[in-house]
Amino acid sequence: MSSSDAQRGTSAARPDTTSEGGGIAEVGRELGIATVLFHTKVAEHLGLSVTDHKCLDLAVRAGEPLTAGQLAELSGLTTGAVTAVVDRLERAGYARRVRSKTDRRRVFIELAEDQLAQVKEMTDRLGRSAEAVLEKYSAQDQQKILSCLRELTEELREHADVPTG
């Protein structure tokens, strides 16, 4: 450990978080780019825009039919924008509007489960790859990675002013 490291309370073994090409910040940016490009390709394959695909993903993750207002809250989009998203998801066959049986004024976005198989196939393949990468790490390290990813996700939400979903 150098004397300047000792003064800062850092260790020579600590990863460089600032250097170009290999620092944590730079690798994080690369991960962000790769994530956006992956979801762009998935959306294209499904015949959707990236926004429509991610709204579909939010609806799938909800596990139950949502109202347009709920989807707007989860996505950070306006209700008008969500109406257009749902229109496009309906035309593509991924969703349909269904009136509440107890309150006809309420309309839910119901997903067409049969159409979601190709979405699941693409995302499951990536999930298996991610699991293979994580298996290289101890359970303790995996917990640290998970904690870090949760914190970074929350930071992204705060900077994007997107509500927690």
- The answer to the question of residue 30 being in a domain is yes
Q: Each residue of 4-49: pLDDT tens digit?
A: 444 444 444 555 555 555 688 899 899 999 999 999 999 999 999 9
- The answer to the question of residue 142 being in a domain is no
pTM attached to this predicted model: 0.76
The top-scoring range by mean pLDDT among 120-129, 134-143, 149-158 is: 134-143
- The answer to the question of residue 162 being in a domain is no
Tally of residues, the chain: 165
Cα distances (angstroms) measured from residue 7 to each of 4, 11, 43, 57, 130: 5, 10, 50, 48, 38
Its domain, for residue 82, covers 23-134
Give me the sheet containing 95-99, strands edge to edge.
66-67, 107-111, 95-99
- The answer to the question of residue 39 being in a domain is yes
Q: Domain with 123 in it: what CATH number?
A: 1.10.10.10
- The answer to the question of residue 114 being in a domain is yes
- The answer to the question of residue 120 being in a domain is yes
- The answer to the question of residue 5 being in a domain is no
CA distance 127 to 159: 26
> Cβ(138)–Cβ(146) under 8 Å?
no
> Cβ(54)–Cβ(32) under 8 Å?
no
CA distance 130 to 152: 18
Total domains, the chain: 1
- The answer to the question of residue 151 being in a domain is no
pLDDT at position 17 is 53
Task: Give the rounded percent of residues in the chain with a pLDDT score beyond 70.
Answer: 84
Q: Each residue of 48-61: pLDDT tens digit?
A: 999 999 999 999 99
